[in-house]
Amino acid sequence: MKEVLERGFCLPEAYHNALEALNEIGEISDCPDYNQKQKELSMTMYVEEALTEPMISSLFIGGFEELEQYRQEMLDGILDFRIGHGWDYTYHSRMQEQYSFLISELKRNKDSRRAVIDIRDWKKDITSTSPACLQNMQFFIRNNKLHLKVLMRSNDATEATFMNAFAFIMFQKKIADELGVAVGSYVHRANSFHCYEKDFKMLEGYVKAIKEKKLNDISYNYVGYFDEMMQESLPNIKLKIEQVRAGLN
């Protein structure tokens, strides 16, 4: 497999560079689990300043409501009630179990290299039909900034990567705020960074936009713009979640 490192000062820049690399040098291989081919490589995506604007790419499936719901799923566990009702876990449930350790470790030693939370539960995931794609998250405080490094075993470049990365950065900010430090860099490592054959045209369309347009034309500021639209979606999300919960009863 090819190994690639893409950089960006902000999240959309790094993400767009990663999409270009996948489209141009990703290798075609069989994906029998999904009865189609895929384009794949190993990707490390480095964001120099995780909260630098613009933070929002326009090149992802969904919009402000979908992104806000996913943020709430990750940080607030709004779908944790589905565990035991078709779901074995949520990222939030596994992250929350280790949250107190994470905070206490970083308070114990600001220079720690032990602030790691494991999302993969090998005893459960080896028999699961949907094992966790997110494997672990490691946090470092250096020069009074909180840096986050994430490892994914598998990551769908067109349908998941941006929303994953954004939500993980929001979790990074939550930790930094609690510790009273600034947010630093973000590293998103995907051992299998891929696009399924059904989405090849989508990937090509994204890359065409990246090549033909300036970054500011295919991205948005989060603070003061996209976050306000996300807030407007709260009633719709609440209703949707209530409907899901009612359907389980």
Tell me the HSE value of 212 on the side-chain side, using a 13 A CA sphere.
Answer: 6
pLDDT at position 33, please? 86
d(CA 39, CA 199): 10
If DSSP codes are grouped into helix, strand and coil, which group holds residue 221? coil
Instruction: Name residues whose C-beta falls within 8 Å of residue 201's C-beta, 6 or more positions apart in sequence.
Output: none
Residue 57 CA to its chain's centroid (Å): 13
- Are 11 and 198 in contact by the 8 Å Cβ rule? The answer is no
Report CA-CA distances (Å) from 41 to 17, 23, 156: 14, 10, 11
pLDDT at position 171, please? 98
DSSP 26: P
pLDDT digits (tens, 9 = 90+) for 179-195: 999 999 999 999 999 99
pLDDT value at 94 more than 90 = yes
Query: What mean pLDDT is reported for the chain?
Result: 97
Torsion sign over Cα 202, 164, 55, 150: negative
d(CA 229, CA 66): 11
pLDDT at position 54, please? 98
In sequence order, what are the beta bridge partners of 139?
A: 148
User: In the structure, what pLDDT confidence band is assigned to residue 196 with cuts at 50, 70 and 90?
Assistant: very high
Average pLDDT over residues 205-218: 98
Average pLDDT over residues 204-226: 98
Beta strand pairing call for 219-220 and 182-196: unpaired
pLDDT value at 249 more than 80 = no
Torsion sign over Cα 128, 81, 118, 33: positive
pLDDT digits (tens, 9 = 90+) for 113-154: 999 999 999 989 988 888 999 999 999 999 999 999 999 999
Residue 30 identity (one-letter amino acid): D
Average pLDDT over residues 3-11: 98
pLDDT at position 132, please? 95
E-assigned strands of 48-81? 56-57
Give me the domains of the chain, ranges plus CATH numbers.
3-153+165-248 (3.30.572.10)
pLDDT value at 159 more than 80 = yes
d(CA 193, CA 41): 5
Average pLDDT over residues 231-244: 97
Q: What is the DSSP track for 27-50?
A: EEEEEGGGTEEEEEEEEEEEESST
pLDDT digits (tens, 9 = 90+) for 13-70: 999 999 999 999 999 999 988 899 999 999 999 999 999 999 999 999 999 999 999 9
User: In the structure, what pLDDT confidence band is assigned to residue 216 with cuts at 50, 70 and 90?
Assistant: very high
